[in-house]
Amino acid sequence: MKRIELEERLIDFSVTIIRLIKNLPVNQVNKHLSGQLLRSATSPALNYGEAQSAESIRDFIHKLQIVLKELRESFVILKIIDRADLYSNKSELDIAINECNELISIFVKSVQTAHKRKR
């Protein structure tokens, strides 16, 4: 996957999450989870953009690790929303969970590859 394609995929994931959050019912639990999810799910696209301008391979790896960390946090929040039945459209939620999981897999491999190049 080319860098621009991956960046677009991260942006699309952010948009998917923004739309999902906009459709969550308003209550105390959803307010808490949606705020955290909004931050963690939009961060990967932004940090990936920063990684493209990394000053060194070490800086690049660090930024990719931040992307991965934020994706993992988003994944856990999405699973909480799912298990607590907080979102009515199960198929939309499943799409977001699956995409997040795929992105995690991509970035696990990316971090591993970057570490190999560093050596």
Provide the pLDDT for residue 9: 98
Pick out the chain residues at pLDDT < 50: none
Check: CB of residue 45 under 8 Å from CB of residue 14.
Answer: yes
Residue 89 CA to chain centroid, in angstroms? 20
pTM of the entire predicted model = 0.94
Provide the pLDDT for residue 73: 98
Provide the pLDDT for residue 79: 98
Provide the pLDDT for residue 87: 95
Check: CB of residue 64 under 8 Å from CB of residue 103.
Answer: no
Provide the pLDDT for residue 22: 97
Provide the pLDDT for residue 1: 73
- The domains of the chain, with CATH numbers, are 3-118 (1.20.1440.60)
Provide the pLDDT for residue 117: 86
